[in-house]
A and B are shown apart, each in its own frame.
Chain A
Amino acid sequence: MLNLQLILFLIFGALAVAGGINMLRSRSPIYGALSLILVMGALAVLYLLLGAEFIAFVQILVYAGAIMVLFVFVIMLLNAQPLPPHERARFARRLGLPAIFILLGILAAAFALRYSRARLAAGSPMFHVRSIGQALFHQGLLPFEATSVLFLVGIAGAVLLAARPETQSSGTDTPAVKAADRSGL
């Protein structure tokens, strides 16, 4: 059983990494977005392997099913073209690759110091819907609510910035019909 888990972990871990690399590499926005969806899906499977069903499906529902749909939607709506190669990209690559390895090293060291092997293998009871609810709405109620207010402020700000005054149509498909005409239709 452990072997099967290991094989699945390797497959989906590799898929997640490949998707991430492809997202950075691809010049076409739509393929970049699709690679990101692949990463989200592979991560969801990894959560499933850890026994975290709730988080896995919420990951699919929220990230792949809602956020990425909006990304793809915007890319299609604006008909975003592939980006031309950028001068500064080479500089970023030179700096970025070592940075990735340093970051990975720090993370691995932190995990190795903090968690013993046995404890990692045992898994965490935190994954059930009830315990997640307890954590969010009891122990972490204040930060949770503060975050939601933060999001609300963000949304209000985005609407304020995006809404231009003196335009009557809001939707993309809204016909420019006056209310008086509409009632006569």
Chain B
Amino acid sequence: MQMPLKIYLLIALIKTVLSLAVMASLIAYVQLAERRIVARMQSRVGPTRVGPWGLLQPLADTFKLLLKEDITPSQTSSGLYLLAPAISVTLALLSIAVIPFGPVIHIFGYTTPLQITNINVGLLFILGVTSLGVYGIVLAGWSSNSKYSLLGSLRAGSQMVSYELALGLALVGPVLLAGSLDLRKIVAAQAGGHWFILPEIVAFLIYLTAAFAETNRIPFDLPEAEGELGAGYHTEYSAMKFALFFFSEYANMITVSCVATLVFLGGWAGPVFGPVWLSRIVLPLFWFCLKAAFFLFLFIWVRGTLPRFRYDQLMALGWKVLVPVALANVLITSLVVAWR
């Protein structure tokens, strides 16, 4: 299968634009879903006025944020202050480049994977990019020149570095079972319903916990604890610059949900039937989205349920529980893999 360079570039462009568009609208609607679901959990209604069932609310919010006055405090380190939200959102969107949404498809005589690009260390790419995400937050806090922002970003920095370790170690187990860092091969290794969530249930739970901390979500949202820090690292940001931080938080949520789906829930695997277009394209995509949506719902559900941890509890949980258990899990998994 040799395709001309022009066609290759065209397909790559279409996939990139499509993925970004889907991602952007998904971010907007996850946020609406969050408001509606949390409202329901608290016996409220949530936004219902703009459009049917409040469906146009994200659009209205975007316009509001675009039209708001953009304030830059006078004592900021101006270059870094502007750069920080850009770093945050760029890195948050970069990781979708390697996430496969479905199998390899044949369309108009060409073969292409449902993925922007495939690299043989895809999982490592995602870990690397998310590990850089902390700079956006840390630089935002530092350049704002405000004590609340600085405290928030210091918390974010130590929290994200600590939980990244547990997150990475939790992913080692499934990688050992699959024998590859290639996300497509990890999915292929789970074919036939042998999802890694069963043999690697410990790793799954550690991953999930660490993912909440990595995305700064309740119960680990200490970097923006509003009761004590104003709004944390983005206290001094307004209008669209604030929106970019918000945007990247939800993009990160979507990324960790996709990784959980790929590594633990068999990716796009699920019952398929019908003609080729249905069984090769639509249904795999449907199963992938369903599984990822479950994780996104879990994020919202937990937000409506759990209180915030205290800072020392957070650190103790990360270093004294999650990391040792993850290490033990790696050891046991490698012994089992070596035994086979």
Contact = CB atoms under 8 A, between A and B. Distances in A.
B311 A37 contact: no
Interface stretch (B155-163, B236-244, B283-291): B155-163
B161 A70 contact: yes
Determine the main DSSP class of B at the interface with A.
helix
A74 to B, nearest CB: 10
B138 A76 contact: yes
Interface string B159-182: 011001000100000000000010
A70 to B, nearest CB: 7
Contacts of A171: 311-312, 315
A58 B168 CA distance: 12
A172 B161 CA distance: 15
A58 B124 contact: yes
B51 interface: no
A57 B135 contact: no
Contacts of B181: 54, 129
B127 interface: yes
A53 B119 CA distance: 8
Given A64-B131, A173-B312, A129 B121 contact: yes
B155 A60 contact: no
B153 interface: yes
A72 B80 CA distance: 13
A53 B121 contact: yes
Interface of A: 30, 34, 37, 53-54, 57-58, 60-61, 64-66, 69-70, 72-73, 76-77, 129, 171-175
Given A60-B128, A129-B120, 10 more contacts: A30-B142, A37-B135, A54-B124, A60-B129, A64-B131, A73-B157, A73-B158, A77-B154, A129-B121, A172-B158
